[in-house]
Amino acid sequence: MVRCCRPRANPTVPRHDLRKVRVHVQRPRGGGGGRGPGDQPPRLEGPGPGGLSRRARFRLHFPQLALRRRLGQLSCMSRPALKLRSWPLTVLYYLLPFGALRPLSRVGWRPVSRVALYKSVPTRLLSRAWGRLNQVELPHWLRRPVYSLYIWTFGVNMKEAAVEDLHHYRNLSEFFRRKLKPQARPVCGLHSVISPSDGKILNFGQVKNCEVEQVKGVTYSLESFLGPRTSTDDLPFPPATPCGSFRNQLVTREGNELYHCVIYLAPGDYHCFHSPTDWTVSHRRHFPGSLMSVNPGMARWIKELFCHNERVVLTGDWKHGFFSLTAVGATNVGSIRIYFDRDLHTNSPRYSKGSYNDFSFVTHTNKEGIPMRKGEHLGEFNLGSTIVLIFEAPKDFNFKLKAGQKIRFGEALGSL
């Protein structure tokens, strides 16, 4: 018996060659979901007589349907899981050359912004780990090589140090907080305000529209930086009011203006800071927060950087009215120490975002606060950071500075 089999008809396009089939779906412009009488149904394009068409040969075919399905699954995930899943792609997106992952944007994926990616880095945890490492005592034979490498990297001038012998410093923390020789930083007595620390002048000038410049062209809110007033009457903060009222209540004397000065401390600078003038400290406000880098490049990149970072705001009065000094923390600089404030503890493991802690130095026994003399030791950092001065002064106050210049503790900032 002979069985005759009818040959199967070859389809126009083989099933296994999916690259040669493209589906073009035109979404209707109207509000309805169905097709109108004039709409065209999905169109299949097959290969021409010579195989693939010219357009198909030179087009990058990406598995769009599969990617859309996978990316659609990401939107159903919780926010922590979504961040975890999107981080690897985002890091590769910014690191790989020639836009290797740019086709992903065609299927609806958007990388996390550089700012958001950087804010997601656990800088507080890294800073606490760095602080623990700084406390580890180094072997005697290892101190000179380690400190010499740091001196060479950041250009530290050890001739100004009170103790030049590198073997004297038991750990990195002691080396960072080294003291200077008394004659290394003479305090200028002719000018009313001096630099509280070594560093670089990022910005200075008059406060306008309740906005303070952290670098040229990048500002932050004065009220966000100093914080609102609490219910205590002896705090020198105004209540939460519009911009004009906030500034007017900081300026306590008629004819005065508000001025600001931002000083950036590099890792190689002297890390202690001093009193910039004769004044009385009446209040301390501690803002727990992030510990992002405060170098000038990062300050241009992230708006209101100083409002996000952990900081300690000291406020009080001087001979012309309101005066404040703020020590801003940074990456690996979670430890901010104020010598006369033993209750201050920075870079704690847990904190509430946007919270702050107040402490008043005005008591029943001390109704004036903590008097500080010009040049007196005030506090210290554990690497490099930023000092922000905001103070009230007459309109004829003049800064003796240039933006970007290097300055040392004791040199003049400005005078009347």
Instruction: Please indicate whether residue 274 is annotated as part of the active site.
Output: yes
Instruction: Please indicate whether residue 364 is annotated as part of the active site.
Output: no
Sheet with 412-415: list strands edge to edge. 193-194, 412-415, 398-399
Q: How many angstroms separate the Cα of 399 from the Cα of each of 99, 357, 389?
A: 47, 32, 13
Instruction: Please indicate whether residue 39 is annotated as part of the active site.
Output: no
SS3 content of the chain, % helix, strand, coil (to 5): 25, 25, 50
Quick one: angle between helices 64-74 and 79-95, nearest 10? 140
Of 299, 345, 327, which is closest to residue 389 (Cα–Cα)?
A: 327
Q: Which residue among the candidates 86, 282, 335, 385 is catalytic per the annotation?
A: 385
Give the ranges where 251-362 is alpha helix by DSSP (H).
Answer: 296-301, 305-308
Contact between residue 413 and residue 194 where contact means Cβ atoms under 8 Å apart: yes
Alpha-carbon span 289 to 127, nearest angstrom: 12
DSSP helix/strand/coil, 332: coil
Retrieve residue 316's tokens.
């009080």
- Separate counts of helices (H) and strands (E) for the chain: 11, 19
Contact between residue 300 and residue 264 where contact means Cβ atoms under 8 Å apart: no
Contact between residue 379 and residue 409 where contact means Cβ atoms under 8 Å apart: no
Q: Which residue among the candidates 260, 274, 286, 308 is catalytic per the annotation?
A: 274
Torsions phi, psi of 332, nearest 5?
Answer: 65, 10
Q: Which residue among the candidates 197, 198, 283, 286 is catalytic per the annotation?
A: 198
Count CA atoms within 13 Å of residue 211 on its CB side. Answer: 11
Alpha-carbon span 313 to 351, nearest angstrom: 17
E strand residue ranges, 29-123: 43-45
Active-site amino acid positions: 198, 274, 385
